């Protein structure tokens, strides 16, 4: 029996220094493993316990671990997870499906056809974002994989109603808006992690799906899985979002990532996962 585990990455499975959320004395803090380096600088971490549990999970022939992220392919490929390389990865919020690290052209064609049929074009949305943003708080404007756009902003300067007004404008054009930290994402509504997860489940014959995520862009993934978890931080926690089959964890920060991997193991194997300590 094959089960599929689709996990969001940033602030779900891996954590930047700023997102670690460790409040205990250094002597009690968990040991960390760096899993991402960029331009010779360490960027993202897991606890060593989480890394050990994940490595053991990927060795199970009945488990298909699928990193699932809004990151671009290039950003995702900076990460080095412990254990076996993931045979599938979902990038660009479901717009890119990697098979053994290579983009799947058939999936990209399917995505492109659906976006063309159901959504306003990216150029129109990007132009609106640029025109509506105020240079006083806008720091960067980016396009990801020619699929969606996002802004990097000074959040403390962002007007209270700006995201709400943008959301209303985007909804009428088949797009969704999400504020995550300092980033405002504008994403076509059909571009979802859940659609890509279902495609991987179809290809692998997975009979059960498990997922985790912390942001509004993960909500469709969590509700589409048979069982899912969200950490005690992030957009979903802040809004007290929940759904049938979704467990809201009390742990926050990098310790939530550790607990998520532990829960994945219990669900996949139908038993408690031994400690990796």
The pLDDT value given to residue 218: 95
pTM of the model: 0.91
Confidence of residue 23 (pLDDT cuts 50, 70, 90): confident
| Tokens linked to 153 | 């902003």
Give the pLDDT mean for 121-143: 96
pLDDT confidence of residue 109: 96
DSSP string, 114-164: HHHHHS--HHHHHHHHHHHS-TTTEEEEEEETTTEEEEEE-GGGS-TTHHH
Instruction: Say if residue 166's pLDDT is above 90.
Output: yes
pLDDT band at 224 (very low <50, low <70, confident <90, very high): very high
Average pLDDT for residues 170-195, to the nearest whole number? 94
pLDDT above 90: residue 274: no
Q: Are strands 148-153 and 183-188 parallel, antiparallel or unpaired?
A: antiparallel
In percent, how much of the chain has pLDDT > 70? 97
Residue 277 has pLDDT above 90, yes or no: no
pLDDT grade for 29, boundaries at 50, 70 and 90 = confident
- pLDDT at 76 > cutoff 60: yes
Q: How many CB atoms lie within 10 A of CB 176?
A: 20
pLDDT at 37: 96
Average pLDDT value for the chain: 94
Sign of the dihedral defined by the CA atoms of residues 107, 177, 241, 139, in that order: positive
Residue 244 pLDDT class (50, 70, 90 cuts): very high
Indicate the pLDDT class of residue 276, thresholds 50, 70 and 90: very low
- Range with the poorest average pLDDT among 21-25, 47-51, 109-113: 21-25
Asked whether residue 272 carries a pLDDT value surpassing 90, the answer given is no
Range scoring the smallest mean pLDDT among 26-30, 118-122, 208-212, 228-232: 26-30
Measured between alpha carbons, how far is 101 from 238 in angstroms, rounded to an integer? 34
* Mean pLDDT on 63-78: 96
Does the structure show a pLDDT above 60 at 275? no
Determine how many CB atoms are found less than 10 A away from the CB of residue 243: 12
Determine the Cα angle at 102 with ends 99 and 106, to 5°. Answer: 70
Tokens of 75: 């950003």
């Amino acid at each position: 029996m094959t089960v599929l585990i689709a996990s969001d990455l940033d602030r779900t499975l891996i954590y930047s220094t700023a997102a670690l959320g460790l409040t205990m004395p250094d002597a009690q803090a968990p040991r960390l493993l760096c899993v991402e380096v960029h331009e010779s600088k360490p960027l993202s971490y897991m606890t060593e316990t989480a890394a050990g549990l994940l490595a053991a999970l990927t060795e199970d022939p009945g488990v298909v671990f699928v990193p699932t992220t809004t990151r671009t392919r290039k950003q995702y490929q900076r990460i080095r997870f412990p254990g076996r390389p993931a045979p599938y990865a979902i990038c660009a919020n479901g717009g890119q499906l990697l098979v053994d690290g290579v983009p799947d052209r058939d999936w990209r064609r399917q995505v492109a056809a659906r976006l063309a049929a159901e959504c306003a074009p990216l150029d129109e949305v990007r132009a609106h974002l640029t025109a509506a943003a105020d240079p006083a708080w806008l720091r960067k404007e980016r396009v990801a994989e020619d699929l969606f756009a996002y802004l990097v902003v000074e959040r403390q300067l962002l007007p209270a109603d700006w995201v709400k007004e943008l959301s209303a404008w985007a909804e009428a054009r088949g797009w969704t808006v999400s504020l995550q930290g300092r980033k405002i994402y504008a994403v076509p509504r059909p571009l979802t992690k859940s659609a890509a997860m279902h495609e991987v489940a179809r290809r692998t014959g997975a009979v059960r799906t498990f997922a985790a995520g912390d942001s509004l862009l993960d909500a469709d993934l969590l509700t589409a899985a048979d069982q899912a978890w969200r950490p005690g931080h992030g957009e979903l926690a802040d809004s007290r979002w929940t759904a049938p089959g979704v467990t809201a964890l009390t742990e926050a920060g990098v310790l939530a990532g550790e607990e998520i991997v532990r829960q994945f193991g219990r669900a996949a194997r139908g038993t408690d996962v031994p400690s990796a300590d």
